[in-house]
Amino acid sequence: MARPPTAAQRRVIDAADPVTGRLKGTEAQLDALVKRGLAFRHPRPPHDHFLTPTGHRVRETVPEEPERSAEQAADPATGVFAAQVGGTQEAADTGPARAREVHSAWQGLLELRRMTNPDGATDRPCGWERAHLVQAAALALEAAGHPPEAGGSPGYRVRATPQPEAVAVHAPDGEALRACAITLEGAGWQVGEYTEPRTRARYGLASPRRV
């Protein structure tokens, strides 16, 4: 299935009989589900519609808000989602709802890369990420499961720098910093490790890769 079901289609799927998978909806809705391989029309009268195995799998998954655009899914300016950049007094939200939001935002960002990179590449950052460096890097880290520094718990911190197209990534120790660097490199960033002159603390300097 190339695209997730629309919100209206999802409501029809969720309302299906939990045992038989029998569907109720308008003819247009049911026909659309049939065309997408999510439902089939029984050949015998009254020709009811039922979920296919693929449709059942869709119903069992957590919806990822398909009507939200890829850019909205990741853009904190919309008020929809903001990655955890670290350094907050409050404890980090690590519940299942947050995990779903992060997963949805990351998938949305990959789709934004596919749509906006000239060659459709998803292995390197797009224009939105270059305009929102801190959020983009933090999203890559949070989506990979790295904990942010929050509520007194150690973790990563992502901060803006005076350098163009570069963010500073701080971590509680060298091992954690290297793990963050590996994640960002896998997400299409270039990362170098440096030493803070005043504190002698090690940090990463990450920039979006262009090719």
Query: For 157-197, how does the pLDDT look when each residue is reduced to its tens digit (9 = 90+)?
Result: 999 999 889 999 999 999 999 999 999 999 999 999 999 88
pLDDT averaged over every residue in the chain: 85
Q: Using a pLDDT cut of 90, give the percent of the chain over it.
A: 41
3-state secondary structure of 169: strand
Check: pTM over 0.85? Answer yes or no.
no
Any idea what DSSP says for residue 209?
-
Which residues touch 5 (CB under 8 Å, ≥6 apart)? 13, 33, 36, 38, 58, 66
Q: What is the pLDDT of residue 51?
A: 86
If pLDDT is split at 50, 70 and 90, which confidence band does 62 have? low
Q: What is the pLDDT of residues 85-117, one digit of tens each?
A: 999 989 988 888 889 889 988 988 898 898 888
Alpha helices in 117-160 (DSSP H): 127-131, 133-143
- 31/78: higher pLDDT: 31
Q: Which of 181-186's residues contact partners 24+ apart within 8 Å by CB, and which partners?
A: 181/206, 183/140, 183/141, 183/144, 183/146, 184/137, 184/140, 184/141, 186/144
Give the distance, in angstroms, between the CA of residue 88 and the centroid of all CA atoms in the same chain. 22
- Reply yes or no on whether the pLDDT at 74 is more than 50: no
Q: What is the pLDDT of residues 27-50, one digit of tens each?
A: 888 988 998 888 898 888 888 899
